[in-house]
Amino acid sequence: MSCCGKGFCTFSFPDGAPLTDYSVSNLNANYLFLPYGTLLSEGEVVRIWMESGQAKEVFLEAKWPVVFDAQGAHAQGRDQDLPWQLVAIDTGFEYDDIMDWPNHDLANPYAQPVVLEFKHPIEVKPSLKMRFLELLYKIRNL
């Protein structure tokens, strides 16, 4: 039996920017751990998505290859260490699974894991004045 037996997961994404390879846990995610890499490139507009079918366009600010050593995971080429707890929360993985990914059952030794860093566009929330002016404009054009 499928997890979507009642048809809750039967959705399709409309055409648009490319989707990330895996879903995120929330649409405000700043990071995404991809254990098998990705073809997406820095500076590209991509869509992050959730398993519920919601999607949001964001900028792919950085793509960090991940290397592993005795202390855990490290982003190669990055001056500061990534906030791995936040990466785990945004991705929906367990922190310990990410830190010990080479020993995970699903790890592929020939695939380079990466972490994607997103930049969210500024969304202007309408003020009360803006809503009132919009209402007056609608009334005027009736």
Q: What is the DSSP string of 61-83?
A: EEEEEEEEETTEEEETT-SSPP-
Report the candidate in 80, 88, 85, 36 with the shortest Cα–Cα distance to residue 62: 80
Better-scored residue on pLDDT, 48 or 73: 48
Distance CA 101, CA 92 (A): 14
Q: What is the pTM of this model?
A: 0.77
Structure confidence at residue 131 (pLDDT): 92
Q: Which residue in this structure is represented by tokens 């990914």? A: 101
**pLDDT-based confidence at residue 129 (cuts at 50, 70, 90):** very high
Q: Kindly list the domain boundaries of the chain, sorted by start residue.
A: 31-140
pLDDT digits (tens, 9 = 90+) for 6-40: 555 656 777 778 888 889 999 999 999 999 988 88
Percent of the chain with pLDDT over 70: 92
Q: Per-residue pLDDT for 58 more than 70?
A: yes
